[in-house]
Amino acid sequence: MLMSSPQAMAGRAFAPPSLMSARLTSGFEHKLAHGVLRRIECRELLFAEGDAASHVYRIETGAIALNKVLADGRRQVIGFAYPGDLIGLGVEGEHVMNAQAVKATRVRCLPVSALRQSIAEDPALGVKLYEALARELAATRDLMLTTGQRSAVERVASFLLAFSRRNQRVGQDPANFELPMTRTDIGDFLGLTIETVSRTFSKLKLLGLIELPCSNRVKVTDIEALQGLADGAQEA
Amino acid sequence: MLMSSPQAMAGRAFAPPSLMSARLTSGFEHKLAHGVLRRIECRELLFAEGDAASHVYRIETGAIALNKVLADGRRQVIGFAYPGDLIGLGVEGEHVMNAQAVKATRVRCLPVSALRQSIAEDPALGVKLYEALARELAATRDLMLTTGQRSAVERVASFLLAFSRRNQRVGQDPANFELPMTRTDIGDFLGLTIETVSRTFSKLKLLGLIELPCSNRVKVTDIEALQGLADGAQEA
DNA sequence: CGGAACATTGACCCATGTCAAGTGTCGTGG
DNA sequence: CCACGACACTTGACATGGGTCAATGTTCCG
C-alpha cells in the first residue's frame, strides 16, 4: 500500500477548484458512506497544524479553507474544499495545515487505518490517491504563479473564473453563484488585503463584468472580458 | 503500482531545499546508476511544459530551476533541484512545468517504464515516491506562505537560511556557499525583481549578517539574526 | 431596535517596481 | 597579455500598486 495517512490534499486546477473530487473505488466509497458524520460550525477548525493525522474527511456540505499561519498571525489560505472533496491526505503523522470551516459544514470521517485497508484490498485506489495528490501539487503551483506574479485584478479575475469553472463542472450555474467564504478568506488566499479585494470587486462591477446583488452573490455578465483581465490584457 | 509517470517532483522543506533526496531502493538505484548520463548546458531546458513526460531524471551535478511562465513572459520559479534530487515525477502524460539548467548540469535519465517496473518489483518504492510527492506538496505550500505573505527581507532571509540548511544536510558548509543561480532566478522564485533582490542582499551585508566576496558567494556571519529577520522580527 | 460582524470607500503612505546609469567579471580574440 | 564586448550585478531616482488607517454602510440576528 502506498497511502499511509492524512494531511491536506486536493485535486483540481488552480484556485477554488477545490480539492480532489476523484470518483473513488467502491469499497472505499462504501466505508465512507457509513463513516461518522461530523458537523463543524462556521470558523471552527476540523483539524489544526500539528494535530495527529488520524482521519481523512470528505466534505458533504459547506466549505473548508486550508491555511497556514505565520507566528505573527499573517495567514495564507492554500485552498478551499467543497462538497465531494477529500481532505487530510498526505504524509504520515501530523497535519501540516489548518482546516477551518468558512461556513457551517458537514464532513464524513474515515480513520486512516480503514483507508489503508481499502488500499490493500484495491491497489487501484492507491494509484488514484497518488494521482489526486499529483493534481493537487499542480494546482498549488498554479496558485503560486498567480500569487507570485499577477496583479490584484488578475488575481481576483482568476479566482472568480476558477470558481465559475468549478461550478460548471459540478453542474451548477457558472455565471451566478454564491461565494461561501469571506473577503478575508479570499484575501488570504490571493495574498491581498480585504480592502484590495473589495476595491477590485467594485472595479469589476464598474467595468460591467460582474454584478454583486449582495456581497457574497456574484453574477458574471462578461466572462470573456473577465478571462481577458485574468490573462493580463492591459487593464482599464 | 501507483507511480505512473513524471512531472516535477521534489521533497524537502521550503525554498532551495530542493527536490526529493529520498534514498531510494536498490533495484531502482541500480537502474538509475546505469541510466544514460545527459549534459545540459547553462540555460538549456531539460524538458518544457507540455512535453511528453517520458523520463524521470536525477541530478548528478549542477542545478535545475523548475518554473512556469505566463503568456507575457512573467516567470515563477517553483523550486530548485540539486545533485541527488529526482525530478519529473507526477501525473501521467505531460510535464506541467519547465526544467531549466541554471548552470551546466548532468542528469541521469530513467524511462518511466523502467520506473514502473521497479515499483512493480518493489511496492515499498511506490510508497516512498508517494511520500516524496507529499513532502514536495508541503514544501510548495510553505513557499506559498513565504511569497504570499512575507516582505522582501523576510523572503531573502528565508531563502538564504533554507539554502544554508540544505547545505548542512548534505554535509557541506552551512555558513559559506556559492549560489548556483542568478539574481533573476532568485527573484522569480521569491516573487521579487532582480533589483529588489540585489538591494536586499546589500542591506543584509550592511546589517553585518552576511558577506558577499563576489556576487554568487555568500558567507553567513550571523545566522541567528538572519533567522530573526526571516521570522519577521521588526526590520532595521 | 440595537449591536456585532463584515464589507465598502476614501485619503494617505510606503515597499517595491520601473527606468536608467554605472560597475564588475569573465571569456574571447588580437 | 591585454582589449573588448557581453552579461550580470549594483545603485540611484522616481513612480505606483496596494497596504494602512479610519469612517461609513450593510446585513443579519438576537
Q: Is the pLDDT of residue A11 over 60?
A: no
Contact A191 B72 (CB under 8 A): no
**For residues B176-200, average pLDDT:** 97
| Cβ-Cβ contacts under 8 Å, B10 against chain A | none
Cβ(A68)–Cβ(B111) under 8 Å? no
The stretch A15-35 carries a mean pLDDT of: 61
Q: Which of A4, A20, A23 is nearest to A12 (CA)?
A: A20
DSSP assignment string, A1-43:
----EES----SSSSSS-S------HHHHHHHHTSEEEEE-TT
**pLDDT of B107:** 95
Model confidence pLDDT, tens digit, residues B80-138:
999 999 999 887 789 999 999 999 999 999 999 999 888 888 888 888 888 889 999 99
Quick: pLDDT tens for A28-49.
778 888 889 999 999 999 999 9
Q: What is the pLDDT of residue A33?
A: 81
Task: Give the gap in angstroms from C-alpha B25 to the nearest C-alpha of chain A.
Answer: 15
Q: Are A25 and A120 within 8 A, CB to CB?
A: no
d(CA A105, CA A38): 8
| Higher-confidence position of B228 and B29 | B228
Residue B80 pLDDT: 96
Residue A117 Cβ under 7 A from any strand C atom: no
Q: What pLDDT was estimated at residue A26?
A: 62
Report whether pLDDT(A19) > 70. no
A78 contacts in chain B (CB < 8 Å): 141, 144
Q: How far is the CA of B178 from the C1' of D20 (A)?
A: 39
C-alpha cell at A62: 459547506
Phi–psi pair at A54, nearest 5 degrees: -95, -25
Cell of A52: 495527529
Gap from B151 CA to C15 C1', in Å? 8
Average pLDDT over residues B10-19: 37
| Mean of pLDDT over chain B | 87
Own/partner pairs, A175-178, CB within 8 angstroms, 24+ separation: A175/A219, A175/A220, A175/A221, A175/A223, A176/A217, A176/A218, A176/A219, A176/A220, A177/A217, A177/A218, A178/A216, A178/A217, A178/A218
Is residue B25 pLDDT above 70, yes or no?
A: no
Give the C-alpha separation, A75 to B127, whole Å.
Answer: 32
Greater pLDDT, A9 or A45 = A45
Mean pLDDT over B146-169 rounds to 96
Helix (H, G, I), strand (E, B) or coil at A78: strand
- By C1' distance from the Cα of A216, the closest nucleotide is C7
Residue A2 has a pLDDT of 35
Give the Cα separation of A217 and A223 in Å (integer). Answer: 16
β-strands A86-87, A55-61 pairing: antiparallel
d(CA A155, CA B232): 25
Cβ A22 to strand C below 7 Å:
no
Please give the Cα distance from A55 to A122 (Å, whole number).
Answer: 19
B18 falls in which pLDDT band (50, 70, 90)? very low
Q: What is the pLDDT of residues A125-176, one digit of tens each?
A: 888 888 889 999 999 999 999 999 999 999 999 999 999 999 999 999 999 9
- Interchain contact, B2 vs A123, CB within 8 Å: yes
Q: Do A138 and B90 touch (CB under 8 A)?
A: yes
**B86 C-beta neighbours (distance < 10 Å), count:** 27
The answer to whether B130 contacts A78, with C-beta atoms less than 8 Å apart, is no
**Pairwise CA distance, residues A183 & A186, whole Å:** 5
| pLDDT value of residue B8 | 36
Residues A81-125 pLDDT 10s? 999 999 998 877 899 999 999 999 999 999 999 988 888 888 888
| pLDDT value of position B234 | 64
| pLDDT-based confidence at residue A5 (cuts at 50, 70, 90) | very low
Closest alpha carbon to C1' of D8, residue: B182
pLDDT score of B119: 86
Kindly tell me if the per-residue pLDDT of A54 is higher than 70.
yes
pLDDT, position B32: 83
Name the residue facing A191 among B9, B74, B149 (closest C-beta): B149
- Tens digits of residue pLDDT in A185-205: 999 999 999 999 999 999 999
Measure B145 CA to C27 C1' (Å).
41
For B5, B87, B111, the CA distances from B58, given in Å and listed in that order, are 14, 6, 12
CB count, 10 Å around CB of A38?
A: 14
pLDDT band with cut points at 50, 70 and 90 for residue A24: low
A118 or B19: whose pLDDT is higher? A118
For residue A125, give the chain B residue with the closest CA.
B2
Query: What's the pLDDT score for residue A177?
Result: 96
- pLDDT at B11 > cutoff 70: no
- The per-residue pLDDT for B145 is 94
State the first-to-last Cα distance of chain A, in angstroms, to the nearest integer: 53
Percent share of chain B, pLDDT over 70: 88
Per-residue confidence (pLDDT) for residue A108, from 0 to 100: 96
Whether residue B3 has pLDDT greater than 50: no
Record: contact A127-B68, CB cut-off 8 A: no
Residue in A46, A43, A75 with CA at minimum distance from that of residue A59: A46
Higher pLDDT among residues B92 and B54, named by residue: B54
Q: How many CB pairs under 8 A join A and B?
A: 133
Write down the pLDDT at residue B170.
93
Indicate the residue of B72, B134, B147 with minimum beta-carbon distance to A133.
B134
Strand D nucleotides where any atom sits below 7 Å of a protein CB:
8-13, 17-22, 26-28
